[in-house]
Amino acid sequence: MTDTSLTIENILAPDLALCRVPASSKKRVMETIAEQIQQHDPSLSDTEIFNNLVARERLGSTGIGQGIAIPHCRLEGLDHVVGALLTLEDGVAFDAIDNQPVDLVFALIVPKEATSEHLELLSQLAEKFNERAFCDQLRQCTDSDSLYRRMTVERS
């Protein structure tokens, strides 16, 4: 990977910021993420993304509490990091650490060999999502364009 300064701003494409997505379950959220990423990059397999997300989730829930989940996985053959942001129409059970339903999801798909980059991005995401006011702003977005802009605005 040549870009050593991976940020949320350069891994999230506008068409992968999805506002008020209907989802009835954790599994459906994972399917939606995989389908959207595959539509964004047809060279990727939605089945492979879905299976890897589910396999990672079996190791422990990526629901970090306060209605937020950061599902992530490594993908063989991927040469760049892909992010997807979803706000859900209704919260879904996600086995989160606080047992609260999740309605804010940021998925991270990284190359198989990415390690420090992967951890750095997870850290950046956790830091952003630790700001309750920021999360509230994301939840208040009514369209995907405003959701994308809100997520990628540099915050000081």
- Which of 40, 72, 80, 118 is catalytic? The answer is 72
Query: Any catalytic annotation for residue 80?
Result: no
> Which region among 4-13, 23-32, 97-106, 127-136 has the lowest average model confidence (pLDDT)?
4-13
The domain limits of the chain are 11-151
What does pTM read for this prediction?
0.92
Q: For the segment 23-75, what is each residue's pLDDT rounded down to a tens digit?
A: 999 999 999 999 999 999 999 999 999 999 999 999 999 999 999 999 999 99
CATH topology of domain 11-151: Mannitol-specific EII; Chain A (3.40.930)
Query: Which spans in the chain are helix H?
Result: 26-40, 46-59, 116-129, 132-140, 144-152
